[in-house]
Amino acid sequence: MLKDALAGFRCVDFSWVFAGPYCGQLLGDLGMEMIKIECRKRMDVVRMYPPFAFEDRRLNSSGYWNTHNRSKYSINLDMKSEKAREIIIRLIAMSDVVLENFSARGMKAIGFDYERLREINPRIIYCSMAGFGHRGPYKNYVAYGPMQESQAGIVNLTGWPDGEPSRVGTSYPDAAAGVSAAFAVASALRHVKRTGQGQWIDLGQTLTAAALTDTAVIEYTVNGTIQQRNGDSHRFFAPHNVYPCSGEDQWCAISVENDAEFAALAAAIGQPALAQDALYATNAARIQHREALDEIISAWTAQFDHYEVMHRLQAAGVAAGAVLSTGEFVADEHVQTRGFMEQFDHPVVGEKLYPGVPFKMSQTPGRIHRPAPLLGADTEYIFKTLLDMSDEEIKQLDDEGILV
């Protein structure tokens, strides 16, 4: 039987959209029991975000939602009702983690700030993921991933020096916050096992993105230098770029960090003499003449498919990677051999492929444990198995409109 690193841990999950659900996805794939709280009046808005499996955009058919909420259970509870809060209190008392990514006011508004959570369960790990965290002058500022990326300093460093700064092609700070939260939660669980001490993880999404700006801050504080965006070139190495290949909008990334790699590249493109040419023989010379060098390399790459460029250069010991479209990624020989994409059957959308777990653990492999739940699909199961409720009790709650 496969073992799970986080088996036996349970999370009451109020999170929605992307940052919190991505954290929950990572925890759920390693076996934590994720109980997602929604209701029809206030469901996770991403249930209605594209892409959809059907043209009518029907409920439970969003690929965006289905990928980030696999390995979770869904229960419907109208959090505005007192009875729902009583049920939540019972769940929190038997759980290890509470996860949410509301604004800094959100959890208090439904009656569960950390003080209250700790009264219910002193060992609880409460992970909040507000845009700027719960402290400091911007704590009540509203913040979503695409603008956090600006605030965090990543946008300014992405894009072309002669053009506008550019967002990364996804809501990147959400993902960065999600994985940072997963690290903190797993770490805090170990701490509570060792010491009995629960805690509040007060994560700020903008901060976890800003923490990934590499040397931007230290170069400013030590040298007073403000880093600029460089397009696809590297400040300290050349050649370093994407090069056009034979197909339409087809490119291969190539990066060379030393003279030996450059000699290998020069030989692979049929121009071994370049490695002795004073214009290109040293890294400093290559940086100085990078544009001319890029033209020479482009003339060679343009003859071949981007995969062929990659395979030829990698065979010669040069770091090269085809710029893969999403379709090419899914079909890629290596991705398929590694089994990164996992297929699962979903009651509404059927069999689809999803990105799986991006690392392999030898003892506790991690996997998509179950398809993303239909809205409220597990209400009865969770109430019966965890809360020991009878059919009658559940029916009564339903009649009172609490399980909408």
Partner 1 sequence: MAERGESSVSRGDATLYDDIVVLDVSSSIRGMHCAKMFGDYGAEVILVEPVGGSAARQVGPFAAGREDRETSLHFMHHNRNKKSVALNLHTERGQELLRELARGADLLIEDWPVGTLEALGLGFTQLHALNPRLVVCSITGFGQSGPYAGYKTSNIVEDAMGGLMGITGPADRPPTMTGAQQAEHITAMHAAYACAAALLYRELHDEGQHIDVSAQDCVASVLENAIEQYTYTGVVRKRSGSRHGTAWPCTVFPCKDGYIGMCCTQGKEVRAAALLSEDFALAEDPVLENTFERRSRADEFEPRLVAGYMKYGKSELFHKGQTLGCPIGMTSDARDLATDAHLNEIGFFGEFAHPVIGPYKDIAAPVYMTATPGVMRSAAPLLGQHTSEVLSRLNLSEAELATLSADGII
Cβ proximity to partner 1: between 81 and 199 the closer is: 199
At residue 254, what is the residue type? I
Q: Which of 78, 96, 174, 378 is flagged as catalytic?
A: 174
Instruction: Using CB under 8 A, pick the residue from 169, 278, 392, 399 that binds partner 1.
Output: 169
What gap in Å lies between CA 50 and CA 61, rounded to an integer? 9
Using CA atoms, how far apart are residues 232 and 359, in angstroms rounded to an integer? 27
Q: Which of 60, 74, 206, 301 binds partner 1 (CB under 8 A)?
A: 206
Residue 157 contacts partner 1 per CB under 8 A: yes
Distance CA 21, CA 26 (A): 9
Q: From residue 185, how far is each of 199, 220, 345, 362 by CA, in Å?
A: 10, 32, 29, 21
Residue 354 within binding range of partner 1, rule CB under 8 A: yes
Position of tokens 């009658």? 392
Interface map 279-308 toward partner 1 (x if CB under 8 A): ------------------------------
Stretch that binds partner 1, among 69-77, 107-115, 376-384, 391-399 (CB under 8 A): 107-115
Residue 141 is classified by DSSP as S
**Angle (deg, nearest 10), helices 259-268 and 306-315:** 130
Query: With CB under 8 A as the contact rule, which of the stretches 33-41, 73-81, 223-231, 382-390 interacts with partner 1?
Result: 223-231
Q: Are 43 and 71 in contact (CB under 8 A)?
A: no
Q: Which amino acid is at 130?
A: A
Segment near partner 1 (CB under 8 A); pick from 1-9, 273-281, 284-292, 374-382:
1-9
Indicate the residue among 275 and 316 with the shorter CB distance to partner 1: 316
Q: Within 171-190, which residues bind partner 1 (CB under 8 A)? A: 171-172, 174-176, 179-184, 186-190
Neighbours of 105 (CB within 10 A): 12
Closer residue to partner 1 in complex, CB, 332/398: 332
Q: Give, as ranges, the residues between 358 and 387 that touch partner 1 (CB under 8 A).
A: 358-364
- From 76-84, 126-134, 266-274, 384-392, span contacting partner 1 (CB under 8 A): 126-134
Instruction: Tell the smallest beta-carbon distance from residue 351 to partner 1 (Å).
Output: 10
Six-digit token string for 376:
């409220």
Nearest to 339 by CA among 323, 358, 324: 358
Judge whether 274 and 266 are in contact, CB under 8 Å.
yes
Tallying the residues shown for the chain, one arrives at 404
153 binds partner 1 (CB under 8 A): yes
Interaction residues for partner 1, span 32-51 (CB under 8 A): 49-51
Among 325, 381, 385, 393, binds partner 1 (CB under 8 A): 325
Query: What distances in angstroms separate CA 61 from CA 22, 84, 172, 230, 265, one per listed residue?
Result: 18, 27, 23, 40, 47
Site residue total, partner 1 (CB under 8 A): 154
Q: Which of 210, 375, 402, 403 binds partner 1 (CB under 8 A)?
A: 210
**12 binding partner 1? (CB under 8 A):** no
Q: Catalytic site residue 174? A: yes
SS3 368: coil
The answer to whether residue 98 forms part of the interface with partner 1 (CB under 8 A) is no
Q: With contacts defined by CB under 8 A, name the span among 73-81, 131-139, 373-381, 390-398 that binds partner 1.
A: 131-139
Contact 305, 244 (CB under 8 A): no
Give the x/- contact pattern for partner 1 in 55-74, rule: CB under 8 A.
--------xx-xx-------
Provide the 3-class DSSP secondary structure of residue 96. Answer: coil
CB of 283 to partner 1, least distance (A): 10
Residues 229-268 close enough to bind partner 1 by CB under 8 A: 229, 231-232, 234-236, 240-242, 244, 249, 251-253, 255, 257
55 contact partners, CB below 8 Å, separation of at least 6: none
Give Cβ neighbours of residue 326 (< 8 Å, ≥ 6 apart).
none
| Residue 89 binding partner 1, by CB under 8 A | no
Residues with a catalytic annotation lie at 174
